[in-house]
Structure formats: C-alpha cells, structure tokens
Structure 1
C-alpha cells in the first residue's frame, strides 16, 4: 500500500479543500469608505458571490468565515518572544543607509517612500523580530 495515501496530513499551515465539491463559482469584492462620523472612517466590504446552486451565497460566506476562524484561532494562543539582538557598530552603520543608496527598482523605492520608510532602520524593522 502506498504510504502517501494512508498518512493523514494535519498542519496549521494547510488549508484542506475538496477538489470535487466546489459550490462557489466566483467571488468579487469591493472595499468602500464608510464615514460614520466626521472623525471616524471605516471600511465597508461588499461581496458578490456566485454559487452552483447547491448552497446559497449566505451559507457559503458563513462556512468560509467559520473556516477562517478555525484557522486563525490558534494564533491567539501563541507566545511571542522578542529576540534580543546584539546590535554592533556594523549593524548601526547598515541601519543608517538611506533607501536611495540601495539601488532599488523604481516601484520598490516608491512603495517604501509612500510608507514613509527613509532608511533601513526606519521604525526598527530590522532589529525587532518575533519567534513563535
């Protein structure tokens, strides 16, 4: 007997799908701004769901949200620990490098500028790491 057929695969990073039964045929989404007050702006998500008729679109979104909840629930119980990085003089020199000096593509450069990242060390993106 083939070991690949008998070994169940259960992992946090695996989304199991049924290749035969796929009732959702197409999904479109739109995100719009929703002003609830002058100082508060929220996002409104509009979903268009087409199914093959075996389930209603409302049921499809309920099932999908239950699957996502089940997938992300274990993340609530993770213990994140900050890694204590010993920052050397060399690291400090590297972290002071401006993004203009990195020979990035125009697109990458513009994305970093729009995110207000001006150097390698902006907001300690290099130094702060987390371990699961």
Structure 2
C-alpha cells in the first residue's frame, strides 16, 4: 500500500476506512490485534474496502511502499513513544511518521529530533483530541 495507519481506536479506525473508501489501499496496525481484525471486518462489510490488517509491526511496515508514510493515532504520552520505538525499528531513512494525536508541542519537538537521528521524518499534526 502507499500509506499505513497505526492506532485503531474510534478515530484511527474511521480515518482508515475513509481513506480506503476514497480508493486508497491502506495497511493498518494496532497493538491490540482484535482492533485490527475489527477494522478489516468493517472494511469488508462497508463495501469490501482495500484495508489490509497486520498483527505484526514488521509485516505492517514492510507492506507500505517506500518512502513509507505512517499515520499514527494513539493515546498521547508514553503510548506514542512506544509506538514510535516499535515502528521505527523497521523503518528506513526517508520514511515518515505523521502523529495525528493532540500532543504537547514540547513532546512533538523532542520526538521530531529523536526520529531525525534515525533519518526519519516526523510531522506532528494533531487531529485527535483523545480523552
């Protein structure tokens, strides 16, 4: 696929389905694998949409065309850092993480610097307010 989405709570799941509905195949991943299965099932029910689910983070990252773009919609704080750590292990220079969570700007700046050291791009673009 050309794009991936990690984090399949209400906002992430609906964004993935919306992207697929517009004709863009999308790979999806969530730490809780039942969310992956639920999203893929919804995609089938809503018109056999091109949503491809992955339980394994490495397989998820490898399923995305280079340079990779991964939208991340996970709960602010430590879960964001853990997701970045998990996914960046399999990403390559020039790949991009778009953080769609609403995060404190200093955390966004810290993460941007940290992933830049790995040769990755990081865009903080809060679209989800969380709880």
- Structure of larger gyration radius: 1
Higher relative contact order (Cα pairs below 8 Å, separated by 6+ residues) = 2
Richer in helix (by share)? 2
State the TM-score, normalized to the length of structure 2. 0.19
Query: What TM-score does the superposition give when structure 1 sets the normalisation length?
Result: 0.19
